[in-house]
Amino acid sequence: RRLIRRASLHGRVLGIRDAFLSAPVSIAIRLLSAWHPDLEGKRDHILHVVADEERRFLQTLTRGLEIFENLANRARRDSKTISGADAFALFDTHGFPIELTRELATERGLSVDEEGFAVALTQQRTRGREGRFVSGIGTSPELYAQLADAVPATTFTGYDELRTTSEVLAILAEGGTVDRAEAGDEVQLILDRTPFYAESGGQVGDTGFFRGNGLLLRVGDTQRPYSGFIVHSCEVLQGAVNVGDVVEADVDEERRLHILPHHSGTHLLHKALQEVLGPEATQAGSLVAPDRLRFDFRWPRPMTDDEVREVQDRVNAAIWANLPVRNEIMQYDEAVAEGAMALFGEKYGDTVRVVKIGDWSKELCGGTHVQATGDIGLLVITSESGIGSGIRRVWALAGAAAYAYLTELREQLSDAAAALDTRPDNLLNRAQQLSAQVREQEKRIEVLSKRLATAEAEGLVRHAISVNGFQMVAEQIAADEPGYVKVVLDALRSRLDGGIIVLAAKVGETPRFAMAVPKALGQRGYSAREILGEAAKLAKGGVGGGQDFAEGGGRDASKIPDVLRTAVELVRRKAEG
């Protein structure tokens, strides 16, 4: 995306104002297809994505240029310099590189505070690093790097067991290493062996407990902040722990068992999306948790309801086929040659772990999985939405979470059916029946409202006053919804030929106003929007509309009489003036 936007910006600098990148991209595909054969097969998709991204960016760029011109006009009046904060806002929000801001400013005889821009950019990057690094005990990435030279790599045993006897190799607290931690301390522990899975590939880290002789620690999270070792974030609940102690590392088994179906479910979901949408629907991120899964993928448009249903059906068909789930350690090149999906942006070593689900799905993955798809039980897609340009997001539930979700839905259906005095299996028919009845009642209400408005209009005509040869009605009426004010006004128009009408009503606790001016008086300069707009200010309100009709509201219903009097006075002044 950054490359596409920079190319588009440089095109604008060269004087190209319209979208143009599809042409050079098409040439690049032709030139590179000899080395990358997949490019030609994906030509249409690539050109579509590039064109769509360029179109979106040009819209953003146009808005950014408008903002730049406002900033430039302000700079001309003041310091002749565009501030660093403003230059950074253009960069951060509208994609303006500092080079473009500098060039545009120079063309207008202005300068840019590039030192201030650099400070703002540094502050943003610092906030980003702080946001990415989570450590309640203040451990720095630099300390992890130092420990990597002194602490042996952690052996992960969690594929085969959830309880392991381990030695404490290091204790981290308050930004450094310590030899001992006691009850109440929050620390990070590094062990020689652990069954705790460290957060990776979208799968959340394991939780559980470390136990020893009079010792109990609760593990709240497991991470791999540096290649080679696994860090457990703990709270010491009982006793004291020392470097060199032997502990029983015990994973929360129930939580892990709920994670497994969600992780295997993401693999099935990925494969089904590619079968239904096409191979371009590739993973762009994921979350695998005990209670849900999230799957982000590259796709340029919303999925249809039929596509969502088809993906869900394919996933569940694979689940109910009870396909075996196998893990193999392979050479990276060999795995890719066999068709294993490698995620774009992920870093892989020469040796990789391949998760195979029957003959259907094959991905490079280091996560934990069920032994067969039947262990998942069920997968339910709960939503599909967009999260950015060309990125879609699916939320889904698997296993026990899916069962709980459907059980809750069934209870809600039963409650809704009971409220509508029908059976759950007849709920749709009952809802359609009641909807038809409501529409019929609404029609009857509309007819009665018009009859009532007609009767009320006949009474209001008798209160008309004469202003410079034409009649005017300015009255407050009773109304229980805003639309009724206009219904009465329309009924009154046909009975007050050539006159001005101003009506007001208190609807709930707020005032509502409407005004009509006949065409002949409009041609003489009477404007409903101007007259009612000025009067409505007394009720802390405003109106919209035009010369012949305007309506609006306010916040102070007690001022309705004042608004009506003022409207009459404004009409009389216009007549006298």
State residue 150's pLDDT score: 84
- Among residues 243, 246, 236, the alpha carbon closest in space to that of 147 is found at 243
Q: What angle do CA 263, 264, 267 make, to 5 degrees?
A: 95
Radius of gyration of the chain (CA): 35
Query: Using an 8 Å Cβ cutoff, are 311 and 273 in contact?
Result: yes
Query: Using an 8 Å Cβ cutoff, are 393 and 295 in contact?
Result: yes
In sequence order, the 6+-apart residues with CB closer than 8 A to the CB of 12 are 61
Q: How far apart are CA 167 and CA 243, in angstroms?
A: 8
Q: How far apart are CA 488 and CA 450, in angstroms?
A: 8
339 by Cβ neighbours in 10 Å (0-12 / 13-18 / 19+) ranks as exposed
Q: What angle do CA 156, 157, 163 make, to 5 degrees?
A: 125
Per-residue pLDDT of the chain (577 residues; tens, 9 = 90+): 778 877 887 887 787 878 899 999 999 999 998 888 888 888 888 888 888 888 877 877 777 778 888 888 888 888 889 998 888 888 877 667 787 788 888 888 899 999 998 888 888 766 654 443 334 455 677 788 888 888 899 999 999 999 999 999 999 998 789 999 999 999 999 999 999 999 998 999 999 999 999 999 999 999 998 888 899 999 999 999 999 999 999 999 999 999 999 999 999 999 999 999 999 999 999 999 999 999 999 999 999 999 999 999 999 999 999 999 999 999 998 998 888 887 755 677 788 999 999 999 999 999 999 999 999 999 999 999 998 878 999 999 999 999 999 999 999 999 999 999 999 999 999 999 999 999 999 899 888 888 888 888 888 988 889 888 899 999 999 888 888 898 899 889 888 878 999 999 999 889 999 999 999 998 888 999 999 999 999 999 988 889 999 999 999 999 999 999 999 999 999 888 6
State residue 429's pLDDT score: 94
In sequence order, the 6+-apart residues with CB closer than 8 A to the CB of 418 are none
- Which residues share a beta bridge with 550? 515, 545
Three-state DSSP class for 129? helix
| Structural element, H or E, at residue 116 | helix 114-132
Structure tokens at 129: 């690093």
Q: How far apart are CA 398 and CA 528, in angstroms?
A: 60
Tell me the whole-structure pTM to 2 decimals.
0.65
Cα dist from 184 to 181, 235, 266, 469, whole Å: 9, 7, 38, 89
- Which residues share a beta bridge with 543? 552
Q: Which residues of 383-403 are buried (b: 16+ CB within 10 A; e: fewer)?
A: ebeeeeebebbbebbbbbbbe
In sequence order, the 6+-apart residues with CB closer than 8 A to the CB of 157 are 164, 193, 194, 195
Structure tokens at 126: 């610092």
- Among residues 192, 191, 175, 95, the alpha carbon closest in space to that of 141 is found at 175
Structure tokens at 263: 């992780």
Q: What are phi and psi of 500, to 5 degrees?
A: -100, 140
- Among residues 577, 567, 550, the alpha carbon closest in space to that of 465 is found at 567
| Torsion sign across C-alpha atoms 50, 52, 53, 59 | positive
Query: Using an 8 Å Cβ cutoff, are 311 and 269 in contact?
Result: yes
Strands 500-507 and 470-477: parallel
Q: What angle do CA 271, 276, 277 make, to 5 degrees?
A: 100
Q: How far apart are CA 160 and CA 510, in angstroms?
A: 68
Strands 465-467 and 470-477: antiparallel
Strands 465-467 and 391-398: unpaired
State residue 138's pLDDT score: 53
Q: What angle do CA 326, 268, 289 make, to 5 degrees?
A: 90
| Structural element, H or E, at residue 372 | none
- Among residues 129, 317, 305, 338, the alpha carbon closest in space to that of 225 is found at 129
Structure tokens at 57: 């960016």
Chain position carrying tokens 């129930």:
254
Q: How far apart are CA 97 and CA 6, in angstroms?
A: 8
Q: How many residues does the chain have?
A: 577
Q: Taking the CB of residue 426, how many other CB atoms lie within 10 A of it?
A: 12
Q: Which domains does the chain have, with CATH numbers?
A: 2-132 (no CATH), 141-251 (2.40.30.130), 263-400 (3.30.980.10), 446-576 (3.10.310.40)
Query: Using an 8 Å Cβ cutoff, are 229 and 148 in contact?
Result: yes
In sequence order, the 6+-apart residues with CB closer than 8 A to the CB of 198 are 156, 205, 206, 222, 223, 224, 230, 231
Q: How far apart are CA 572 and CA 124, in angstroms?
A: 61
State residue 156's pLDDT score: 95
Chain position carrying tokens 């880290």:
205
Chain position carrying tokens 């409903």:
528
State residue 236's pLDDT score: 95
- Which residues share a beta bridge with 215? 212
Query: Using an 8 Å Cβ cutoff, are 398 and 377 in contact?
Result: yes
Q: Taking the CB of residue 492, how many other CB atoms lie within 10 A of it?
A: 25
Query: Using an 8 Å Cβ cutoff, are 186 and 234 in contact?
Result: yes
- Which residues share a beta bridge with 249? 164, 210
Q: How far apart are CA 286 and CA 491, in angstroms?
A: 60
Task: Give the strand order in the sheet containing 549-553.
Answer: 465-467, 470-477, 500-507, 510-516, 549-553, 542-545
